[in-house]
Amino acid sequence: MNQVKLSHYDNSTYHSGGKLKKTLWYVVNIFVFKTMFPFPASIKVRILNLFGANVGKGIVIKPNVNIKYPWFLTLGDNCWIGEDVWIDNLAQVTIGNDVCISQGAYLLTGSHDYKKESFDLITQQIVLNEGVWIGAKATVCSGITCKSHSILTVGSVATEDLDAYSIYQGNPATLKRKREIS
């Protein structure tokens, strides 16, 4: 039986940006985003844009938000990002207009190939289409698309795409009912 050998791990084919850019972002992220000090969202948006994010208007970013790499982030108009959200974007994360990501939610674009002894890094994008709501402490796994106006409820884990106008709950999240908006 083969075994995992983490000493064989090599992610040299993964390129997330230059060392200087990543180091500068790490410092800015700690002092402006991953802090409970309530910096205005307008300042956060300007900083994200400076680091290569594509950010719309009317954005709300609460305190203590962690963004891995802003150059892999697109935020549409009128998005809300709650306290303690972690956007772990080793790959592109695209968030459409009018999306709410509640407190403590986790967007996870990376994983590992458990079938290989070298435990290779695997990255896949996440797409949250317009009107999506990711509930508090919910997790969206890599490669997932949450279609228009879908909801992932509190503490749930999306391991498959969410259908439009549908509400999902559980771990793994399953369809519970249709979303009706009046």
CATH of the domain at 93: 2.160.10.10
* pLDDT classification of 162: cutoffs 50, 70, 90: very high
Q: Whole-angstrom Cα distance, residue 89 to residue 68?
A: 6
Mean pLDDT of 8-28: 94
Quote the pLDDT of residue 170: 98
Quote the pLDDT of residue 61: 98
The DSSP string of 106-146 is: EEE-EEE-TTSTT--EEE--EEE-TT-EE-TT-EE-TT-EE
Please report whether residue 132 resides in a domain: yes
Proportion of the chain above pLDDT 90, given as a percent: 97
As given in the structure block, the two tokens for residue 106 are 């986790």
Say which amino acid occupies 69. Answer: Y
* pLDDT classification of 1: cutoffs 50, 70, 90: confident
Rounded to whole angstroms, the maximal C-alpha distance in the chain is: 57
Please write the tens of the pLDDT for every residue from 75-107.
Answer: 999 999 999 999 999 999 999 999 999 999 999
Q: Give the residue numbers spanning the domain of 126.
A: 18-176
Please write the tens of the pLDDT for every residue from 44-61.
Answer: 999 999 999 999 999 999
Quote the pLDDT of residue 24: 98
| Tokens 């800015």 found at | 28
- Across all residues in the chain, what is the average pLDDT? 97
Please report whether residue 50 resides in a domain: yes
Please report whether residue 57 resides in a domain: yes
Quote the pLDDT of residue 130: 98
Please write the tens of the pLDDT for every residue from 117-140.
Answer: 999 999 999 999 999 999 999 999
Q: What is the pTM of this model?
A: 0.95
Quote the pLDDT of residue 145: 98
Please report whether residue 6 resides in a domain: no
Count of domains observed in the chain: 1
Please report whether residue 5 resides in a domain: no
CB 84 within 8 A of CB 63: no
Please report whether residue 33 resides in a domain: yes
CB 137 within 8 A of CB 104: yes
Strand ranges inside the chain, DSSP E: 54-55, 60-61, 66-67, 73-75, 80-81, 86-88, 93-95, 100-101, 106-108, 110-112, 121-123, 126-128, 133-134, 139-140, 145-146, 151-152, 157-158, 166-169, 174-178
Q: Whole-angstrom Cα distance, residue 142 to residue 140?
A: 7
- 93-95 and 151-152 as β-strands: parallel, antiparallel, unpaired? unpaired
